[in-house]
Amino acid sequence: MTLNELHTGDSAIITRIRGRGAFRKRLTEMGFISGKNIKVVKSAPLKDPVEYRILDSNISL
């Protein structure tokens, strides 16, 4: 399952980060780390952006 398959209120545990280089590094810096719990707080009507709760922070992607 990927993040874009989650709905508002859903939680999941990160098992893998896809991406390379600076993109992957930036996600890791924001807390997207394997084994961490993530929750979808809310999403815009067209799913862009989506607000996630991870490591006591809210992050919109």
Per-residue pLDDT 10s for the chain (61 aa) are 899 899 999 999 999 999 899 999 999 999 999 999 999 999 988 878 999 999 999 999 9
**Greatest Cα pair distance in the chain:** 30
pLDDT at 37: 97
What secondary structure, in 3-state letters, does the chain show?
CCHHHCCCCCEEECCCCCCCHHHHHHHHHCCCCCCCEEEEEEECCCCCCEEEEECCEEEEC
Domains of the chain: which residue ranges? 3-60
pLDDT at 48: 86
pLDDT at 55: 93
pLDDT at 47: 76
pLDDT at 49: 93
DSSP one-letter code for 26: H
How far is the C-alpha of 36 from the C-alpha of 7, rounded, in Å?
Answer: 18
What CATH code is assigned to 3-60? Answer: 2.30.30.90
